[in-house]
Structure 1
Amino acid sequence: MDQSKNPAARTVKTRSQAPRAWQRMLSGRRLDLLDPSPFDIEIEDIAHGLARVARWNGQTIGEHAFSVAQHSCVVEEIAAHIRPGLEPRWRLAALLHDASEYVIGDMISPFKAALGVSYKSFEARLEDAIHVRFGLPPKTPLPIKKLIKSADKACAYFEATQLAGFTEKESLGFFGAPPAGYDLVIDPLPAPVAQARYLERYRVLAEATGNLPGPDAWHTE
């Protein structure tokens, strides 16, 4: 039979030729990168991935890379320092502020700018799905977003001066001064330790917000 006249055959061929747009996670989830579902996002996958993604493209001193997981824990701490009494849900938002990088990696800011709007929209869809998965508003309120950005820049200041070879003058120019009364000495952690700390902070904050999944939620088929 002439398969060119068979719609079913043409459908199979089209599907087989379509590029794969999902990634298999260690939890067994398949995350569609173009249309991410909150149901396919697990905190264990995020923690595992972020603990193995290096800040500054790995261009830092020391035996271990400074991971996005460790960076995220510091940003959450700085956000709470800047705004004492910060609600647990917004501390959780700070912890998850770079969670999308468990899939897309930590691109340095100049490269993100070069990629333009398409990259930002892709990143935003993934961030929205992550927020919904963990009981946060899809879009972070602007005041909280600004707070997290300030904490993020403060952490970057310490990273740049202590790990990435920036002078203090350069760091101040790019990131501004860290918040008054806060100091940090960075000791980059091995990936398994950073992963465990990230998971522990998540569980503390998720429990405080009433969004801690039950035991069956960690490994659903």
Structure 2
Amino acid sequence: MCAELSSSSPRAWQRMLSGRRLNLLDPSPLDVELSDIAHGLARVARWNGQTIGDHAFSVAQHSVVVEDIALMLKPDLEIQWRMAVLLHDAPEYVVGDMISPFKNVMGGTYKAVEERLHHAIHQAFELPPELPKSIAKLAKKADIISAYLEAIHLAGFSKDEADKIFGRPAKVTNAQLDALAHLIVPLPTKAAQEAFLARFEELDQARKSELQAR
């Protein structure tokens, strides 16, 4: 029996609480469920959990904050792109939030897995596999602004360190940064999960209403 197990191919799929079995080597959009994404992201800690407070700052909460920032930067952002921004870290419900230094060590292997998952997730929610460059750039900027604020308010970075590593957010006022800082307060797991689900449902309903109005 042991020899039989050792000769078999390594398992490359993840069993989800929905009952889905997601293959990391060839992920199918049919195996992507919103409930699994929200559940997973609410339990994945940003900064490897090295943040202040009684709760970890989850990727689910970070995703909602990044969508808030993107909308602040571009108030006329289309609904589908707001949804894409919300899902910018969605693959982490499977692979976790690998910190940047470790991603650099892993190189292209991690990126390839992440991209396959991203494409499957986008297909599941009727988004294009690749974002327009302007939207990808906006999502990245919003992500960096959130990371900048998290670094200062949660992860123990000084402002000078954050300015050097992430860059002081351009074209964002101090008043806007202060307002955003109020969002960088870690929520309990259940609250973060519910916030992510609520934001997705809000955007999904708005998108359906837009389609019906055409």
Verify same fold: TM over 0.5: yes
Could you say what the CA RMSD is over the residues aligned between the two structures, in angstroms?
1.6
CA shift for structure 1 position 177: 2.1
- Cα deviation for residue 101 of structure 1 reads 0.1
Cα separation, 2, equivalents of 1:34 and 1:163: 35
Q: Tell me which structure has the larger Cα radius of gyration.
A: 1
Amino acid at match of 1:193: A
1:182 counterpart letter in structure 2: Q
C-alpha separation in 2, matches of 1:158 and 1:79: 14
One-letter amino acid matched to 2:56: A
Aligned match for 1:199, one of 197, 200, 203:
197
2:74 aligns with 83
Counterpart of 1:50?
Answer: 41
TM-score by length of 1: 0.87
Give 2:188's aligned residue: 190
Matching of residue 65 in structure 1 with residue 56 in structure 2: yes
Runs of 4 or more, structure 1, over 3 Å off, are 13-16
Which of 146, 149, 155 in structure 2 is aligned with 1:158? 149
Hey, what's the Cα distance between the residues in 1 that align with 2:207 and 2:166?
31
Aligned to 1:210: 208
> Percent identity over the alignment?
59
Unaligned runs of 5+ in 1: 1-12, 212-221
The AA in structure 1 aligned to 2:187 is L
Q: How far does the alpha carbon of each residue in 1:77-125 deviate from its partner, in whole angstroms, 9 at most, with x for none? A: 0000001110011110110000000000001111111111121111101
Runs of 5+ consecutive residues of structure 2 not aligned to the other structure: 210-214
SS in 2 for 1:182: helix
SS at match of 1:70: helix
Report the AA paired with residue 113 of structure 1.
Answer: N
TM-score by structure 2 length?
A: 0.89
Query: SS in structure 2 opposite 1:31?
Result: strand
The farther-off stretch of 75-84 and 175-184 is 175-184
Question: In the alignment, which of 110, 121, 125 is matched to residue 116 of structure 2?
Answer: 125
Aligned to 1:215: none
The alignment of Structure 1 onto Structure 2 pairs a total of residues equal to 199
Aligned to 2:138: 147
Match of 1:94 in 2: 85
Deviations 1:17-54 (A, max 9, x none): 12111111000100011100000000110000000000
Query: Take 1:141 and 1:208, find their aligned partners in 2: how far apart are those partners?
Result: 21
Counterpart residue identity of residue 152, structure 1: D
For 1:177 and 1:97, how far apart are their aligned partners in 2? 22
